[in-house]
Amino acid sequence: MSKRIAAKHKIDRRLGVNLWGRAKSPLNKREYAPGMHGATRRKKPTDYGTQLFAKQQLKGYYGSISEKQFLRYYKEASRRPGDTSETLVGILETRLDAVIYRMKFVPTVFAARQFVNHGHILVNGKKVTIPSYLVKEGDVVEVKQASREIPMVMEAANLNERDVPEYLDVDAKAFKGTFVRVPKFAEIPYPVQMQPNLVVEFYSR
């Protein structure tokens, strides 16, 4: 097992949820945190603990975004008009690594980050190597011609555990998709219950 996969499974076990809804998650076999004391009964969390958990869950889902970057997203969301929690998840869904994961060009969010870093993705015909690049409505995202035969890409295309959401328009055969619009929270296909409102409460303390 690679270090990247091991770390991903550790996140699942630490949070106690199958965060990405994957069949290979260790939570499908044992629902407790990693470490020698992982199987002990969890204490009832405080309000702070519940808010912290919601933040860790959302950060983890998008590939364990750094605290500094995540806080920056929160500040940007709170600066914009409207519901801050809705805006926050909308920003997260426009990250390029999240977009290619949703488009099923790669099997995991961790693979998405690596895939972008290695220069396999074009946005509006230009190579972009920054996973946190924010895609805009109408942007066309595609896998480079030379990268379409990579086994990981073929594996992702055949995954049945998730579907492409309606806010993306994808031509799977052409390895190309359009980011149609920023989604509402209710539209985002999280496999577990996310609570971005608690994330807002955490930072608003």
Arithmetic mean of pLDDT, 83-98: 98
Return the number of other C-beta atoms located less than 10 Å from residue 115's C-beta. Answer: 26
**Residue 11 clears pLDDT 90, i.e. is over it:** no
Of 75 and 14, the one with more pLDDT: 75
State in Å, rounded, how far the first CA of the chain is from the last one.
40
Are 62 and 109 a contacting pair, CB within 8 Å?
Answer: yes
pLDDT at 122 over 90: yes
Alpha-carbon distance 139 to 137, whole Å? 6
pLDDT for position 68? 96
Question: What is the number of other CB atoms lying within 10 angstroms of the CB of residue 77?
Answer: 23
pLDDT band at 41 (very low <50, low <70, confident <90, very high): low
Show the CA angle centred on residue 92, arms to residues 88 and 96, nearest 5°: 155
pLDDT of the residue at 10: 59
Tell me the per-residue pLDDT of 94-120, one tens digit each, with 9 for 90 and over. 999 999 999 999 999 999 999 999 999
Query: Which amino acid makes up residue 179?
Result: F
Please, where in the chain does CATH 3.10.290.10 lie?
91-183
Residues 6+ away with beta carbon under 8 Å from 183: 89, 90, 93, 165, 167
CATH H-level superfamily of 7-80+189-202:
Ribosomal protein S4/S9, N-terminal domain (1.10.1050.10)
Predicted TM-score (pTM) of this structure: 0.82
pLDDT score for 18: 54
Helix, strand, or coil here: 5?
helix
Q: How, if at all, do strands 121-123 and 126-127 pair?
A: antiparallel
- Maximum mean pLDDT: which of 7-16, 41-50, 147-156, 178-187: 178-187
d(CA 74, CA 87): 9
Which positions ≥6 away from 4 have C-beta within 8 Å?
110, 114
- Determine the Cα–Cα distance for residues 188 and 48; give it in Å rounded to an integer: 25
Beta bridge partners of 8: none
What are the residue ranges of CATH 1.10.1050.10 in the chain?
Answer: 7-80+189-202
Determine phi and psi for 171, rounding to 5 degrees.
Answer: -105, 95
Please tell me the least confidently modeled range out of 25-34, 72-81, 164-173: 25-34
Mean pLDDT over 171-186 rounds to 97
CATH class of the domain at 91-183: alpha beta
Average pLDDT estimate for 22-28:
51
Residue 158 pLDDT class (50, 70, 90 cuts) = confident
- With CA atoms as reference, report the closest residue to 167 among 135, 124, 200: 135
Residue 131 has pLDDT above 70, yes or no: yes
Mean pLDDT on 134-160: 94
The predicted model gives 19-39 an average pLDDT of 53
Question: Which of 133 and 155 is assigned the larger pLDDT?
Answer: 133
